[in-house]
Structures are given as C-alpha cells and as structure tokens.
Structure 1
Amino acid sequence: MDWLKKLASLLVIIGALNWGSVGLFDFNLVTEIFGSATTVTKVVYSLVGLSGVWTALDYFKK
C-alpha cells in the first residue's frame, strides 16, 4: 500500500499546482491538455479528489 500513498501524494501535488496556476494565472493545465468537460478531464479531477480524501484520511489516522 506504500505505492498507493505515493501515487495519492503525487496526484494531490499535481492538483495543488493546477489550482495554483488557475488562481494566479487563470490557466488550467488539465483542460489545456485534455479539453474542457471531457471524460478524461473528469477522470483526472475525480482521481485528484479521491487522492485528497485518501491523503487526509491517512494523515488523521496517525
């Protein structure tokens, strides 16, 4: 399960950097790469969100 923690952490970092670029530069890298409202974009956002939940649960479990 160590690989799952690392993957979740990586996706959380990617999500944070993406939201930072949206806030600072009005630039969304995910939609630039995959398009707006595509299935792949929704999957990426869902995986980032689930990774955030997983990371938070792991953090508070300790």
Structure 2
Amino acid sequence: MDTVQRLALALTIIGALNWGVAGLFRFDVVGQLGGGFSEPLSRFLYIAIGISGLLTLGLLFDKWRDRKSEHPTAEET
C-alpha cells in the first residue's frame, strides 16, 4: 500500500468516526474543527474525506482481484 492510499484510508476512517459521533451525539467534529459546516476549511475537509473514500474503493477491488487469482475457476484450469 503506497502513501497516498494510506493517507486516503486514514481520512476515510476519520470520516467514518465523524459520522459515528454525529449519529450518537449529534456533534459534527469536522465541522467544529473547521469553524462551522459551511466554512471553507470544513468544506475542504469534507471534500478530502469524500475523495479519500473513493480512493479506498480501489483497495476493496484489489482484494477481490487477489481472491480471484488465488482460486482459479474450472475454465482457467
């Protein structure tokens, strides 16, 4: 896993934790740190977390691709 994927995964985890806190306690950590939901810093953080989520989808598909190569189908043998 390269540095960009690690950073993306870390931001995705932060976003997931933020959603958990928002759901449990009705408190938006990212919005609070950024000065409010619609402030430019908060918007940047939300966009970065969203893009990170898309980048980490590649990790999921890499795992699926690895599983396919480990278990060849009857047609491949």
In structure 1, stretches of 5+ residues that fail to align are none
The 2-side partners of 1:33 and 1:52 are apart by: 20
The amino acid of 1:29's aligned partner reads V
Q: What does residue range 1-62 of structure 1 map to in structure 2 within 5 Å?
A: 2-36=2-36, 37-61=38-62, 62=65
What SS is found at the alignment partner of 1:8? helix
User: Please, what is the CA RMSD of the aligned residues?
Assistant: 1.3
The 2-side partners of 1:60 and 1:11 are apart by: 19
The amino acid of 1:5's aligned partner reads Q
Aligned-residue offset at 1:18 = 0.3
Identity of aligned residues (%): 40
TM-score, with structure 2 as normaliser: 0.74
The 2-side partners of 1:32 and 1:40 are apart by: 10
Q: How many residue pairs align between the two structures?
A: 62
Aligned-residue offset at 1:33 = 1.2
Aligned-residue offset at 1:43 = 0.5
Deviation per CA, 1:9-50: give whole Å up to 9, x if none. Answer: 100000000000000010111111112211110110000000
TM-score, with structure 1 as normaliser: 0.90
Bigger relative CO (Cα 8 Å, ≥ 6 apart): 1
Q: Quick check: which one's helix share is greater?
A: 1
The 2-side partners of 1:8 and 1:34 are apart by: 19
